[in-house]
Structure 1
Amino acid sequence: MTGRLLYDPDCGFCTRCAGWLEGRGLRASVEPMTPELLQSLGIDEDRALREIPFVADDGTVTHGAAAIGRVLATGPQPLRTVGLLLCHAPVRWLANPVYRWVATHRHELPGGTAACRMPGPRP
């Protein structure tokens, strides 16, 4: 399985994390999202800015912690195992609230700036 993880290029924290992922031997690509790209893929831009989307080769879109799990699952070990764990219970049950906390506070995390603050209501 491959696909593409789309990150917010205006967010320093997201860009920093994407850079880390790009050097890990993933089969999936890690790409900056644009409004045009999101529209062409049928992805809601507001949601994509709150929850990172992963687009599988078959067009299936997952968001948030599951998206992180899906992209990690395309990498070598131990990333593959971590990714698979993130996608399945009971780890998924813990991963979702952790992801929401990180997304909500990304402007306060390393590399984060005011531009990283999530738009609109918190997830």
Structure 2
Amino acid sequence: MSARPVLVYDGDCGFCTRSVEFAQKHIPFDADVVAWQFAELEELGVEQHRAEHEVLWVTPVGTVYGGHHAVAKLLMNAGGPWALAGAALRVQPVSIAAHGVYRLVADNRDRMPGGTPACAMPAHLRPDTVNAAG
């Protein structure tokens, strides 16, 4: 287990990769960042199907937050005004809206800026993943 939180994302998804790169450049959070394809998922206590489905924030003690909750944790970790935004994502009714927006974006990430047709494919059918798994 890492001494710092770990942000796990889909490294085969162009939109996801660009989103993480944007966060690393503009949001001062303190965490290890790894594509799930290169993460020790079992060690992190994460099942692959969950990592394929949503961004994850894994705390040093092994608590796993996914989707908009992971984004909220990242923002709260950054402190300052970012922490306020992160806290807002965790309270009703903002949390309900954030969940809906997150799912809408995640389910359509192949259509988002930087997205590719591979983003829409299940991980086991993506060329990179097939070769890595086989």
Q: State how far apart, in whole Å, the 1-side matches of 2:116 and 2:85 are.
A: 28
| Match of residue 77, structure 1, among 76, 80, 83 | 80
TM-score (norm 1): 0.87
Structure 1 match to 2:127: none
Please state if 1:60 is matched with 2:63.
Answer: yes
Structure 2 match to 1:88: 91
- Identical counterparts, % of pairs: 38
Closer, same or farther: CA 8–15 of 1 in aligned 2, 3 Å: same
Closer, same or farther: CA 118–68 of 1 in aligned 2, 3 Å: farther
Deviation, structure 1 residue 118: 5.3
Q: State how far apart, in whole Å, the 1-side matches of 2:39 and 2:81 are.
A: 34
Deviation, structure 1 residue 40: 1.9
Give the unaligned 5+ runs of structure 1. Answer: none
The residue matched to 1:6 in structure 2 has which SS? Answer: strand
Q: Which amino acid aligns with 1:29?
A: D
Partners of 1:50 and 1:119 within 8 A in 2:
no
Alignment of 1:1-123 (within 5 A): 3-23=5-25, 24-34=27-37, 37-117=40-120, 119=122
Q: State how far apart, in whole Å, the 2-side matches of 1:101 and 1:21 are.
A: 20
The one-character-per-residue Cα deviations of 1:55-85 (angstroms, maximum 9, x if unpaired) are 0111100111101111111114322111111
Q: State how far apart, in whole Å, the 1-side matches of 2:91 and 2:7 are.
A: 19
Q: Which amino acid aligns with 2:19?
A: C
Deviation, structure 1 residue 30: 2.5
Closer, same or farther: CA 92–17 of 1 in aligned 2, 3 Å: same
TM-score (norm 2): 0.81
Deviation, structure 1 residue 38: 1.2
Partners of 1:3 and 1:71 within 8 A in 2:
no
The one-character-per-residue Cα deviations of 1:18-50 (angstroms, maximum 9, x if unpaired) are 001112211223322226511222211112111
Deviation, structure 1 residue 112: 0.3
